[in-house]
C-alpha cells in the first residue's frame, strides 16, 4: 500500500467512496453525504488530501484543513472493501505525521457519531459537541488528538 497526494483526476473515485460509505447508513446521513460528495472536488493544488492505494485501487483517503495553529481532519474515509484490514489505522497514522509536518500541535475532529469510537481508539479525546447546522442535522462529537 502506498500514499500519494490526491489529484483532480481522483475526484470521481473519492466521491464514490464517500457516497457509498457504510458509515452513513441512516437515511438523513446518507442523503447528506450523497449531496456533499456530488459537489466535492480535489483542487488542483494547495491542499492536504492524501490517498492510500493498493495495486492502483483507492483504499482510503483523508483531508486536513488549517484550524488556527492546528489542523482539522475534515474528511476521513476507508473504502468499504478495505475495512477490517488496518487501513483506517494506517490512514490515521499518516494523517498525524502530515499534521506534524505542518507544525500542528493538535488535530481537531468533528466526527460522524458512528466513527467517534475509532478516533478515541486512536488517542483522540472528547472536547465538545458540534451542534446541527447547514446540511448536518445531528450533533457531532468534537475530538482533539494531540501530536
Q: Which CATH number is 120's domain given? A: 3.40.630.30
Q: Which domain holds residue 128?
A: 2-146
Per-residue pLDDT reduced to its tens digit, 4-28: 999 999 999 999 999 999 888 889 8
Residue-level pLDDT at 138: 86
Q: What is the tally of structural domains in the chain?
A: 1
pTM, full prediction: 0.95
Listed in order, strand segments (DSSP E) in the chain are 2-5, 48-54, 57-67, 70-78, 106-110, 125-130, 140-146
| Residues of the chain predicted below pLDDT 70 | none
Per-residue pLDDT, 23: 87
- pLDDT on residue 25: 87
Alpha helices in 1-147 (DSSP H): 11-19, 27-39, 87-101, 116-121
What pLDDT score does 5 carry?
97
- Which long-range contacts does 89-94 make (Cβ < 8 Å, 24+ apart)? 89/122, 90/1, 90/52, 90/60, 91/50, 91/52, 91/60, 91/61, 91/62, 92/62, 92/119, 92/122, 94/3, 94/50, 94/52, 94/62
Amino acid at each position: 500500500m502506498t500514499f500519494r497526494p490526491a489529484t483532480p483526476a481522483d475526484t470521481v473515485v473519492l466521491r464514490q467512496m464517500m457516497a457509498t460509505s457504510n458509515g452513513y447508513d441512516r437515511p438523513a446521513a446518507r442523503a447528506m453525504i450523497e449531496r456533499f460528495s456530488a459537489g466535492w472536488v480535489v483542487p488542483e493544488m494547495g491542499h492536504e488530501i492524501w490517498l492510500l492505494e493498493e495495486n492502483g485501487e483507492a483504499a482510503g483517503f483523508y483531508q486536513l484543513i488549517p484550524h488556527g495553529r492546528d489542523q482539522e481532519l475534515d474528511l476521513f474515509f476507508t473504502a468499504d472493501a478495505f475495512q477490517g484490514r488496518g487501513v483506517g489505522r494506517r490512514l490515521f497514522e499518516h494523517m498525524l505525521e502530515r499534521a506534524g509536518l505542518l507544525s500542528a500541535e493538535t488535530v481537531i475532529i468533528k466526527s460522524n457519531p458512528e466513527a467517534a469510537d475509532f478516533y478515541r481508539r486512536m488517542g483522540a479525546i472528547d472536547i465538545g459537541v458540534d451542534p446541527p447546522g447547514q446540511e448536518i442535522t445531528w450533533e457531532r462529537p468534537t475530538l482533539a488528538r494531540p501530536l
